[in-house]
Amino acid sequence: MGMIGGGPGAFIGAVHRMAANLDGDIELVSGCFSSDPKKSKQAGKELHLSALRVYASYKDMIRLEKNLPDNERIDFVSIVTPNHLHFEPAKLALENGFHVVLDKPMTLTLKEANQLKEIALKNDRLICLTHTYTGYPMIKQARQMIKKGLFGTIRRIVVEYPQGWLSTALENTEQKQAAWRTDPKRSGIAGAMGDIGTHAFNLAEYVSGLSTTKICADLNTVVKGRKLDDDGAVLLKFDNGASGVLFATQIAAGEENNIKLRVYGEKGGIEWKQEDANSLLVKWLSKPTEIYRTGNDYLNSFAKHNTRTPAGHPEGYLEAFANHYRNFALTLKAKLNNRKAKAESLDFPNADDGIRGMAFIENVVASSKAKEKWSDFKV
């Protein structure tokens, strides 16, 4: 793996590196960790990389890595930059034969996301998008149970992602993460909805297996002077007739990262929240609620495949993140060896998820500004 971004002051880069390293399938061997060459070199030194494989720019990195022998050059690039710096590095990597892991949201615009998918297909390259929360074992369990029709036709989906860290104008301090996430030039046209709303949207569609067809959105900017939304709610209609509610906020003082999902069908449904990620509540119309727990033999193959520890040992955010890297690596290894990857390994967010995430952002912003109550979800 080569990494673009994730240098001094970055948050998510370190998370990516820990996740990629967890299973021993991936080795970080090169990178351009900052737009400042000195900072990039320093980061590479701290990560114990060869100085020859730490680059002053991502363009140099891709060009010089491409010229290395097959058994030395990187297999894929992990891009962990702010949103406005996703498209160009990813495009260049794909065009030069490298597979790509991208932090979400995929790009700055829907147009760019569609272009990246086309480039990936043209060059027969893989794209993995790190929508962390779909990597949890009990989310895999829930998806497969719904897919098998155990709850009948899905009728209602409720997903929420409350945070409180932007309850004040933190971007006016020296807080780097707040600064770029509230800046339209670097974050895009959405704030909270782009940052965490896309996670909630992806989780709802992934677990239910349904696609959104209509939306009705209300976005708010609560903190005075802020340029992007920091709070909002969306009504959803799905392709089977089900309805849903999504809310995402970063001004819910005291909240951390307790993303929560509930899906209801004719016969029952599921409830999951990140603060108790090892548990899945399975609710039935005519019998008591069941509690499914990570690591047990009664779980399906997708849940087991994404579990590392025995029952009762908590697995959390880093392990869920690592599941995407592991599944991507297993799929890539199969591809390099002309083998067919197992269904469990192919189960990671891809370019299609990225495109729907960008469509969510653009549709939600447009809906919030529109006079009409409901808008068609356009991709």
**How are beta strands 30-32 and 99-102 bridged, if at all?**
unpaired
How far, in Å, are 219, 370, 375 from residue 365 at the CA level?
Answer: 7, 9, 11
11 within some domain: yes
The confidence score (pLDDT) of residue 281 equals 98
Q: Where residue 16 sits, what CATH number does that domain have?
A: 3.40.50.720
What stretches of the chain adopt beta strand conformation (E)?
A: 2-4, 30-32, 76-79, 99-102, 127-129, 154-162, 212-220, 231-238, 243-249, 260-265, 268-273, 279-284, 290-293, 375-376
Same domain, 38 and 70: yes
Residue 289 burial (C-beta neighbours within 10 Å; 0-12, 13-18, 19+): exposed
- pLDDT confidence bin for 235, thresholds 50/70/90: very high
Distance CA 323, CA 331 (A): 12
Residues 122 and 151 both lie in one domain: no
Asked whether residue 124 is domain-assigned, the answer is yes
- Return the structure tokens found at 112: 């760019």
Predicted pLDDT at 342: 97
Residue/partner pairs of 316-321 with CB below 8 Å, 24 or more apart: 316/277, 317/132, 317/274, 318/15, 318/18, 318/19, 318/22, 319/22, 319/135, 320/132, 320/133, 320/134, 320/135, 320/136, 320/277, 321/15, 321/16, 321/18, 321/19, 321/130, 321/132, 321/135
What is the model's pLDDT at position 11? 87
Residue 227 falls within a domain, yes or no? yes
**9 pLDDT above the threshold of 90:** no
Of 97, 129, 161, the residue that ends a domain is 129
How many separate domains does the chain show?
2
Q: Within a domain: residue 318?
A: no
Is residue 87 located within the same domain as residue 174?
no
Determine the Cα–Cα distance for residues 221 and 188; give it in Å rounded to an integer: 15
Q: Is the pLDDT of residue 334 over 90?
A: yes
69 and 146 co-located in one domain: no
Which pLDDT value is given to residue 8?
87
pLDDT the model gives residue 220: 98
User: What share of the chain has pLDDT > 70, as a percent?
Assistant: 100
Residues 256 and 123 placed together within one structural domain of the fold = no
Is residue 123, in this structure, part of any structural domain at all?
Answer: yes
Per-residue pLDDT for 10 more than 90? no
What count of other Cβ atoms lies within 10 Å of the Cβ of residue 343? 10
Q: Residue 298 falls within a domain, yes or no?
A: yes
**What CATH number is associated with residue 240?**
3.30.360.10
Q: Is residue 295 over pLDDT 90? A: yes
Q: 96, 129, 162: which is the final residue of a domain?
A: 129
Residues spanned by the domain of 113: 2-129
Query: Same domain, yes or no, for 124 and 145?
Result: no
The pairing of strands 243-249 and 231-238 is antiparallel
Residues 360 and 280 in one domain: yes
Residue 144: what pLDDT?
A: 98
Query: Per-residue pLDDT tens for 180-220?
Result: 999 999 999 999 999 999 999 999 999 999 999 999 999 99
* pLDDT recorded at residue 255: 98
Q: Examine residue 331 and state whether it is found in any structural domain, yes or no.
A: no
State the average pLDDT over residues 15-38: 97
8 A C-beta contact, residue 252 and residue 266: no
The two three-digit tokens of residue 358, written as one number: 């960008």
* Domain's final residue, options 106, 129, 152: 129
Tell me, yes or no, whether 17 lies in a domain.
yes
Query: Looking at residues 304-328, what average pLDDT do you find?
Result: 97
Whether residues 187 and 257 fall in one domain: yes
168 and 212 in a single domain? The answer is yes
Average pLDDT over residues 236-242: 98
Same domain, 66 and 105: yes
Average pLDDT, the chain: 97
- What is residue 249's predicted lDDT score, i.e. its pLDDT? 98
167 and 285 belong to one structural domain: yes
168 and 205 together in one domain? yes
In this prediction, residues 338-342 reach a mean pLDDT of: 97
